[in-house]
C-alpha cells in the first residue's frame, strides 16, 4: 500500500518532462513498478492527480459506475477518465506530462509534488502557494474534522 507524504519542489523542462524525486520514485517502483496514471483533479483546484496504476485501477470502476445522467457525475467522469493518461517512469525517473494536462493545471517550470497518502498532487508552484494563502472555509467543516485532535 502506498504512503505518499511530504511536499517536493521540482522543475519541468520546456518539453513537459519532470523528474520524480528519488524517495517518491522508490515508493512508486515498489507500489506499481513505476507505472502511474496522471489525470485532472475534478475539484476547483486546477492541479493534477498522480496515482500508482494499481490504486487507479481500484477507483476507476467506481468512477465508471457513477450515473452518467447526473450532471455532476458526468463532469467528474469527463475530467478524471477523459484526462487519464497512463505513464511509466523512464530509467532516469522522469515522466512527460501531456500538453492537455499541462494546460489544464496551468503548469509552468516550477512545480510542487504533494503527497496525499495513496496518491500525489502536481501543482504549479505559484498556484500552490496562492492556495496556501487562501483563508480556510470553517463553515463547511465536516463533523469528522471537528473531532480530530492533532
What's the chain's length in residues? 150
Distance CA 107, CA 85 (A): 16
Q: 7-126: which CATH architecture?
A: 3-Layer(aba) Sandwich (3.40)
Angle between helices 71-83 and 53-64 (to 10 degrees): 150
User: Does the predicted model carry a pTM greater than 0.85?
Assistant: yes
Asked whether the beta carbons of 32 and 53 are under 8 A apart, the reply is: yes
C-alpha cell at 142: 465536516
Asked whether the beta carbons of 18 and 98 are under 8 A apart, the reply is: no
- Tens of pLDDT, residue by residue over 49-95, are 999 999 999 999 999 999 989 999 999 999 999 999 999 999 999 99
- Tens of pLDDT, residue by residue over 12-51, are 999 999 999 999 999 999 999 999 999 999 887 899 999 9
Amino acid at each position: 500500500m502506498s504512503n505518499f507524504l511530504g511536499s517536493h519542489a521540482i522543475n519541468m523542462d520546456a518539453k513537459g518532462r519532470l523528474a520524480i524525486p528519488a524517495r517518491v520514485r522508490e515508493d512508486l517502483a515498489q507500489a506499481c513498478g513505476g507505472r502511474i496514471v496522471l489525470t485532472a483533479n475534478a475539484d476547483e483546484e486546477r492541479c493534477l492527480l498522480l496515482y500508482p496504476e494499481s490504486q487507479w485501477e481500484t477507483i476507476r470502476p467506481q468512477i465508471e459506475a457513477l450515473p452518467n445522467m447526473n450532471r455532476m457525475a458526468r463532469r467528474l467522469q469527463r475530467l478524471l477518465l477523459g484526462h487519464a493518461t497512463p505513464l511509466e517512469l523512464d530509467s532516469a525517473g522522469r515522466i512527460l506530462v501531456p500538453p492537455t494536462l499541462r494546460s489544464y493545471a496551468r503548469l509552468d517550470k516550477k512545480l510542487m509534488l504533494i503527497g496525499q497518502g495513496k496518491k500525489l498532487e502536481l501543482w504549479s508552484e505559484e498556484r500552490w502557494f496562492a492556495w496556501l494563502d487562501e483563508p480556510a472555509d470553517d463553515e463547511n467543516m465536516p463533523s469528522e474534522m471537528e473531532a480530530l485532535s492533532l
